[in-house]
């Protein structure tokens, strides 16, 4: 009898040595011996009835001792496996805080969108509302109503893509002025950003580009209001020390018309490559709305006056970010786009 008990003891020791390599396998092994129904030690207890009465006491004692011993062994084994598994987990989940972090690449808005948003911010702060017109216009809104009739030489200033004798791709966001003034009576204060199209293509011109039109119509609007607003605009975009100057120019829809220059933000006005030695950089066209244009829209030009300006968004961005070829703004080269992040 003692031999059987010893054999089981040995089987347990061998099992622990050879089969148990995790808490789960140790538990399985434990079940083989200690499960109350199927375990080998439990089975021995059941044999009690078949043992001769005089041997029962010592058999029972032997089995009980074996059971106690096995319980102890398996408890010890479980503890050992627990520590082992924890060690393995610590090893596999170890974080090396000195490893360089993975770079997370986030996109940013396109430079033209950034510039457009900055301009909208500046003028929205002065109370301008946004009006977005359409890219296809008819001749009347793009030219005639803007005091540029069919035979007017100023039409040659803009090489137009005609879709039909009547319809065209708008050459200027100024077309939006007419829509707004037809729909709304003064006071008017709108900003109209959008794409415009001209058959023009070189380092500083693209057949499609973006403009931002401004229009203010009210009583007693003068060139001083225009200069005041543009001064705020250039300071916000090009820096606090920037100023403007107005030069006489010509646009059919404004009288007087001006070309607006900013003091060179690169050299502070001393003269450099960017400003071609003049200290000034041309940035936009503007003026006092021609009375004829107000009248074309049914606005009393004796009572009301207006100011208007047209900003080229690509040009503003090129100057601000030091871009010398407009194509760089349309090619979406990631190396260029990455450098411009003013958000
Ligand atoms: N529409 C003109 C252009 O595309 C720019 C412009 C000049 C707009 C004077 C204006 C303005 O509103 O008053 O060249």
What digits encode the pLDDT tens for the residues 183-238? 999 999 999 999 999 998 988 899 999 999 999 999 999 999 999 999 999 999 99
pLDDT at 154 over 90: no
> What are the pLDDT digits (tens) for 22-57?
999 999 999 999 998 889 998 888 888 888 888 888
Listed residues 59, 92, 125: the one ending a domain: 92
**Is the pLDDT score of 153 beyond 90?**
no
Domain boundary among 39, 61, 92: 92
Q: Supply the CATH number for residue 184's domain.
A: 3.30.930.10
Instruction: Clarify whether residues 161 and 301 are in a common domain.
Output: yes
Across 98-118, average pLDDT: 92
Task: Convert the pLDDT of each residue in 115-125 to its tens digit.
Answer: 999 999 999 99
Q: Are residues 178 and 326 in the same domain?
A: yes
Instruction: Answer yes or no: is 254 within a domain.
Output: yes
Condensed to tens digits (0 to 9), the pLDDT of residues 233-279 reads 999 999 999 999 999 999 999 999 999 999 998 888 899 888 899 99
Helix (H) or strand (E) holding 284, with range, is: strand 280-289
Q: Please compute the mean of the pLDDT values over residues 90-112 and round it to a whole number.
A: 89
Residues 78 and 142 in one domain: no
Look at residue 58 and tell me if it is in a domain.
yes
So what's the pLDDT on residue 240? 94
Facing residues of 286 across strands?
258, 309
Distance 278 CA to ligand 1 centre (A): 23
Q: In the structure encoding, which two tokens stand for residue 88, read together?
A: 């393995």
**Closest protein CA for atom 4 of ligand 1:** 172
150 plus 34 within the same structural domain: no
pLDDT at position 255 is 97
| Domain count along the chain | 2
Calculate how far, in angstroms, residue 94's C-alpha sits from the geometric centre of ligand 1.
Answer: 65
Rounded to the nearest whole angstrom, what is the distance from the C-alpha of residue 271 to the centroid of ligand 1?
Answer: 27
From 58, 92, 126, give the residue that closes a domain. Answer: 92
- Contact between 168 and 139 under an 8 Å Cβ cutoff? The reply is yes
Residue 342 lies in a domain: no
Specify if 97 maps to a domain. Answer: no
235 and 127 both lie in a single domain: yes
Ligand 1 atom with the shortest distance to the CA of 287: 13
**The residue to which tokens 């479980």 are assigned:** 78
- Same domain assignment for residues 135 and 87: no
Burial of 172 (0-12, 13-18, 19+ CB in 10 A): buried
Residue with CA closest to ligand 1 atom 12? 309
The set of protein residues with a Cβ atom below 6 angstroms from ligand 1 is: 172, 174, 213, 251, 254, 285-287, 308-310
Structural domain range at position 23: 2-92
Confidence at 172, pLDDT banded by 50, 70, 90: very high
pLDDT of residue 291: 98
More confident residue, 258 or 104: 258
Angle between helices 111-124 and 223-238 (to 10 degrees): 130
Q: Is the domain of 60 the same as that of 115?
A: no
> Residue 49: inside a domain, yes or no?
yes
The ligand 1 atom nearest the CA atom of 254: 13
Choose which residue among 176, 309, 312 to substitute to test ligand 1 binding: the one with the highest number of ligand atoms within 8 A of its C-beta: 309
**Statement to judge: residues 115 and 88 lie in one domain:** no
**What is the average pLDDT score of the chain?**
93
- Distance from residue 343's CA to the centre of ligand 1 (Å): 28
- For residues 212 and 74, state if they share a domain: no
Q: Are residues 39 and 118 in the same domain?
A: no
Residues 171, 33 share a domain: no
Whose CA is closest to atom 9 on ligand 1? 286
| Closest C-alpha to ligand 1, atom 8 | 310
Spatial CA neighbour of 132 closest among 179, 182, 184: 179
């Amino acid at each position: 009898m003692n031999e059987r008990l010893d054999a089981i003891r040995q089987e347990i020791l061998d099992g622990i040595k050879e089969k148990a390599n995790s808490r789960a396998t140790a538990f399985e092994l434990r079940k083989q011996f200690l499960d109350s129904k199927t375990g080998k030690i439990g089975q021995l207890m059941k044999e009690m009835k078949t043992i001769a009465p005089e041997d029962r006491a010592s058999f029972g004692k032997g089995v009980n001792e074996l059971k106690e011993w096995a319980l102890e062994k398996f408890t010890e084994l479980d503890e050992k496996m627990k520590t082992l598994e924890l060690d393995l987990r610590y090893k596999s989940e170890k974080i090396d805080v000195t490893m360089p972090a993975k770079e997370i690449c986030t996109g940013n808005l396109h430079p033209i969108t950034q510039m457009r948003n900055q301009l909208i911010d500046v003028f929205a702060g002065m109370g301008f509302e946004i009006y977005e017109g359409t890219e296809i216009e008819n001749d009347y809104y793009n030219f005639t109503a803007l005091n540029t009739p069919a035979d007017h030489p100023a039409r040659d200033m803009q090489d137009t893509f005609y879709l039909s004798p009547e319809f065209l791709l708008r050459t200027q966001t100024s077309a939006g002025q007419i829509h707004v003034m037809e729909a709304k009576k003064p006071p008017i204060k709108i900003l109209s950003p959008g794409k415009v199209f001209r058959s023009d293509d070189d380092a500083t011109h693209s057949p499609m580009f973006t403009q931002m039109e401004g229009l203010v119509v009210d009583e007693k609007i003068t060139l001083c209001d225009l200069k005041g607003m543009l001064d705020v605009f250039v300071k916000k975009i090009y820096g606090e020390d920037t100023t403007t100057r107005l030069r006489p120019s010509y646009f059919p829809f404004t009288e007087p018309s001006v070309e607006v220059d900013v003091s060179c933000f690169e050299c502070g006005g001393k003269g450099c490559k960017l400003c071609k030695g003049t200290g000034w950089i041309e940035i936009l066209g503007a003026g006092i709305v021609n009375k004829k244009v107000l009248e074309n829209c049914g606005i009393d030009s004796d009572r009301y006056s207006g100011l208007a300006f047209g900003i080229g968004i690509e040009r503003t961005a090129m100057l601000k970010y030091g871009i010398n070829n407009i194509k760089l703004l349309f090619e979406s080269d990631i190396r260029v786009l990455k450098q411009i992040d003013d958000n």
